[in-house]
Amino acid sequence: DDGRSAQPWRNPSEEMLKRVVYLSSSLVIAVFAIMVAMAGGPTVFMDLIKQKFQADLPFEGADLVGRRALVTGANRGLGKAISQVLLENHADSVLMTGRNIERCRTAAAEIIARESGNGKLEGGGLGPRVGTAELDLGSFASIDRFVEELKSKSTSATDAGVNTIVLNAAVAGIVPQDRETGMNPILGVNFVGNVYLLDSLLRANLVNKDTSIIVVTSGAHVLGDPESFPIWDEASATNAMSLYGQSKFLLQSWLEGLRASSWRGGAGMNPKKPFIVYWNPGPVDTGLGADSVPSLLFPIYWLMKRMFFVEPLKVARTAAYLLSDPPPVRPGTYFNMREIAQPHPFTGNSSFQQRVYEETKGLICRLSNSDQEGCIA
């Protein structure tokens, strides 16, 4: 005995196993943390999981006879799917809009070909029920042209050619500033563009109490900061999701003010007050913002798609449900995928609604070179 303590014998296989378990566990935790961050935080990530367990909607189909719908961002993804589902459920007509008119026409032709091949069309054709129009929500001039064209086709002030609007078009990801206005397109399109479109439709008497509006929002709107109006912020990998959530939060707040007419001074409701519901479709496989995912993180993005994302056509059935007659939900409802949920509390705050209105009015007046009284209702 040389007096030294005996070292316990270690099994190399056990040591290797421990290291493998440790490294594997660390990798799983790291991937999970990145997924949560990419989703926009724990609250939004829980939405991804929740949709796996939500019950199906309690209907087999909807009869949308009499619906004359306008769908923004309809040239691909969810907008295209919503257009198809509305037509399948007997909507009188659907006007598919987008920045690229040729892509809209191609999407419309694909829907016509698909539905004709499935034998779902009465009278042998869908053509007269489908229209296309150019509409870029990032351009006031494009919105003005679109509204003028729509107004010229209206038969009366009460028949605007459309009585249903689906605000689906959106921008997400790391996108450059708009060269003309300097705005971030995430806020410029998702918030300011939608406000300008709806205000223009109101002023042209193309929206009234008989109009139904579905606002395609996002679970990320719950991340909204009532102290932030980040119109000029540049998008980056660290803030793109928060900017997207903020754009949806501000739009919802502005629209809730419209419903309550809180900025129009008066008690009583706006006589033109449309029926508005907010719908978070959940994780939809549309590719929105996918080109902004760093290549290093794309394998994790691919894994998230496989685990959580849903095909647009399956998700789009909810739009038909929300437009059923009688309405299955109250005006102002936030429909989180397939169930009613609580929206961001500030969307219903009248003081905040007033502040959003004033900020937005000032912005639109400056960008459109209009006086404060005439640029927005």
Write the CB contacts of 297 (distance below 8 Å, at least 6 apart in sequence): 34, 38
Band of the pLDDT at 157, cuts 50, 70, 90? very low
Write the CB contacts of 144 (distance below 8 Å, at least 6 apart in sequence): 200
Q: What is the pLDDT of residue 6?
A: 58
What is the maximum span of the chain, computed from C-alpha positions, in angstroms? 108
Site of tokens 């060269």: 179
17-72: pLDDT as tens digits:
888 888 888 888 888 888 888 777 788 888 788 877 888 887 666 789 999 999 99
- Report the amino acid identity of residue 366: R
Average pLDDT on 345-369 reads: 90
pTM of the model: 0.86
Q: Which two tokens stand for residue 129?
A: 């029920």
Band of the pLDDT at 203, cuts 50, 70, 90? confident
Band of the pLDDT at 356, cuts 50, 70, 90? very high
263-314: pLDDT as tens digits:
444 444 455 678 899 999 988 888 776 766 777 888 888 888 888 888 999 8
Does residue 125 have a pLDDT over 80? no
Nearest C-alpha neighbor of 88 from the set 58, 67, 105, 73: 67
94-124: pLDDT as tens digits:
999 999 999 999 999 999 887 766 545 444 4
Per-residue buried b or exposed e for 121-132, using 16+ beta carbons within 10 Å of the residue's own CB: beeeebeebbbb
Write the CB contacts of 217 (distance below 8 Å, at least 6 apart in sequence): 248, 251, 252, 278, 279, 280, 334
